[in-house]
Structure 1
């Protein structure tokens, strides 16, 4: 048990600290390192082992509490406990069914969307292209859960569109449908939405600055955060 805990509760990378902290906590729950009804390690110890701030850890725990995976108890024997019954995926589909295609979808998405960002940054964009990207970025800046997925999808498609490859745009649209099926099966976390907004701005800034390597890197970091959440909730 100790070795399993060490393997799961290891330092996260700084780029997507919140998302990866959520992933690590979910791994601990799914692997039985912390079983239903058991208490997670103390906050100070857990923050140290994950190499994250206590603020980030608390945000991750709060997100999992809202999603029904953990609960806080007060008193002498209080702390954060794994709930006795873990929730189903938000879509109601079996987790095993979704997990079978997860890595395939994530691999293809990374290849397509990092390539799209790089290709967009390589082009000499028209003023219409620049306006399209800025408007899609502004539109995506919402925390309304009911509309966030649609606006987020439109931004990612806009990046593919200004790359000026119809085949690439079609491929990105197709993989986005698969990604949204997976995203619809997990909770929409407010902290992740705010983090995504910051990353979206960075991606668009790199494209508009005509910085292909920077655009690819910014998109890769953004996709890694989403992948961490999907692996945490579905794997």
Structure 2
């Protein structure tokens, strides 16, 4: 059963609210609630479903849901009100110029095509690196790139994240794949520049980076491909939520 803005049953939210998949709970929950706001399923001034009901519907913890709502509040999309008639309320959209600028920046990009192509290249590169094996200087380069993301200041994170992914693509042994990945990554970075840096997402991404590098260095091709697929899905969820 779907939930209405006041916490009761409402079929309007049924197409959007669904249990998230394991691995990217924060990102996918954020994507779904952003879709509710962008589609106007809860109008400005309306109240989102109660936290307990939203958490149950999405299949996430109350802690995760509150972090999602905090992001939305920081972005000026909702506000929390206390008291008997409190809850999380959708703010009227007043930043028309910002929305217009966002549309202009992404108008020439087929976001789904970019995300799918990126996933194919990244998953393939991770699998190739693990299957062929990395040792010596090549393994050291990958570990160094991972370490660079671990201690990156917030303002530097995306640049070092890009370097880690480019290193993995280069180490897979296919110059053609590396060139294609560099091109699609430039497009992805342009899209990422349109959305906020979220500390919870970066922490989650870093855990995935670590697991990915471990799988590659252990020669676990299936594990490396699966972790990279999950990692790409988290980024895709955020981009879809904010940009589509």
What is the TM-score normalised by the length of structure 2?
A: 0.90
Root-mean-square deviation (CA, aligned residues, Å) is: 1.9
Partner of 1:10: 18
- For 2:135 and 2:187, locate their aligned partners in 1 and report how far apart those are by CA, in whole Å: 31
Could you say what secondary structure the match of 2:241 adopts?
helix
Partner of 2:209: 200
Query: In 1, are the aligned partners of 2:169 and 2:181 still within 8 Å (CA)?
Result: yes
Partner of 1:186: 195
Question: 1 or 2 for the larger relative contact order (CA 8 Å, sep ≥6)?
Answer: 1
* Distance change >3 Å, CA 27–CA 189, structure 1 → 2: same
Query: In 1, are the aligned partners of 2:152 and 2:160 still within 8 Å (CA)?
Result: no
Aligned pairs, number = 235
Alignment of 1:43-82 (within 5 A): 43-82=51-90
TM-superposition CA deviations, 1:186-228 (whole Å, max 9, x none): 1111100000000001110110010111111000000000000
Are 1:135 and 2:144 an aligned pair?
Answer: yes
- For 1:66 and 1:127, locate their aligned partners in 2 and report how far apart those are by CA, in whole Å: 45
Query: In 2, are the aligned partners of 1:91 and 1:185 still within 8 Å (CA)?
Result: no
- For 2:152 and 2:76, locate their aligned partners in 1 and report how far apart those are by CA, in whole Å: 21
- For 1:25 and 1:95, locate their aligned partners in 2 and report how far apart those are by CA, in whole Å: 20
TM-superposition CA deviations, 1:68-109 (whole Å, max 9, x none): 211111222211111112657989733375265211110110
Select the residue among 199, 223, 234 that pairs with 1:225.
234
In structure 1, runs of 5+ residues without a counterpart are none
* Distance change >3 Å, CA 233–CA 164, structure 1 → 2: same
Partner of 2:30: 22
Partner of 2:120: 111
* Distance change >3 Å, CA 92–CA 33, structure 1 → 2: closer
Which consecutive segments of 4 or more residues in structure 1 shift more than 6 A? 88-92
Partner of 1:35: 43
What is the TM-score normalised by the length of structure 1?
A: 0.94
Partner of 1:84: 92
Query: In 2, are the aligned partners of 1:89 and 1:185 still within 8 Å (CA)?
Result: no
In structure 2, runs of 5+ residues without a counterpart are 5-9
